[in-house]
Amino acid sequence: MRSWIKPALFIACLIPLAQLAYGFYTDDLTANPIEYITRFTGSWALIILITSLAVTPLRKMFGWNALIKYRRMLGLFAFFYAVLHFLTYMILDHFFDFQAIAKDIYKRPYVTAGFTSFVLMIPLALTSTATMIRRLGKRWQQLHRLAYIAAAAGVLHFYWLVKSDIRRPAQYGAVLALLLGVRVVYALLPAASKRFAGKAKAVTPQTGGSRSTSAR
């Protein structure tokens, strides 16, 4: 019934690329096009990555289980924009000067954080196929928790590169912390309710009650 959502989301994720292509075609990428493209692709990589991380919290909080169908696409688009971001840096900014790139990764903390984020996204993209999900089983979920670390490294990368106005990285950081907070609460909830159920069972025979309070 909602078969249009997936293609619509696919097209929506291509809009930033189209915007970039249009800006290139009309020669409207500011006075420093390389910096513009780097920032633009970096921003979209992080926005889409954080959006993909919102899927599980939204499912848990509101029961919107259908969202799971779009998570893989979002993750892969985040990686796609991260690849464009890295290629812009490697080709347009550094002209394949791998020595300078390695020095940058080693010496500049914000590049180290960006590189960490990018490297962490690689196994996530490679294991996003149905075959890999089946093959890795439970380990797939554990591996894909790396997406949170990749996003946190992306936020740190952004935070470290801005000179004074930290509002945007702080906003991304706040959203990420909120999403992680929801995950932690839901991870602790079953443990807490199990403990509660255990206590309730222990109390029930003494009080003579026949119904367990955990059922309520």
Q: Residues in the site for ligand HEM, rule: CB under 6 A? A: 35, 38-39, 42-43, 45-46, 49, 82, 85-86, 89, 111, 114-115, 117-118, 154, 157-158, 161
Written as one letter, the residue type at 78 is A
Residue nearest to ligand HEM (CB): 42
Q: What's the min distance (Å) between Cβ of 95 and ligand HEM?
A: 14
Would you give the distance in Å from CA 203 to the centre of its chain? 44
> Of all helices (H) and strands (E), which one includes residue 155?
helix 146-161
Residue 93 or 197 with smaller CB distance to ligand HEM: 93
CB of 53 to ligand HEM, least distance (A): 11
Query: CB of residue 92 vs ligand HEM: minimum separation in angstroms?
Result: 10
- Shortest distance, position 176 Cβ to ligand HEM, whole Å: 11
Residue with tokens 């935070």: 159
Which one-letter amino acid corresponds to residue 38? T
Minimum distance of ligand HEM from residue 8's CB (angstroms): 24
C-alpha–C-alpha distance, residues 65 and 69, integer Å: 8
Residues 6+ apart with CB under 8 A from 114: 42, 153, 154, 157
HSE-up of residue 18 (Cα within 13 Å, Cβ side): 6
Q: Are 123 and 143 in contact (CB under 8 A)?
A: yes
- The number of beta carbons lying within 10 Å of the beta carbon of residue 140 is 14
Cβ(74)–Cβ(82) under 8 Å?
no
Compare residues 56 and 104 and give the one whose CB is closer to ligand HEM. Answer: 104
Question: 56 vs 117, which CB is nearer to ligand HEM?
Answer: 117
Smaller CB separation from ligand HEM, 85 or 200: 85
What is the smallest separation between the CB atom of 35 and ligand HEM, expressed in angstroms?
Answer: 5
Minimum CB distance to ligand HEM smaller for 60 or for 93 = 93
112 vs 204 by CB, closer to ligand HEM = 112
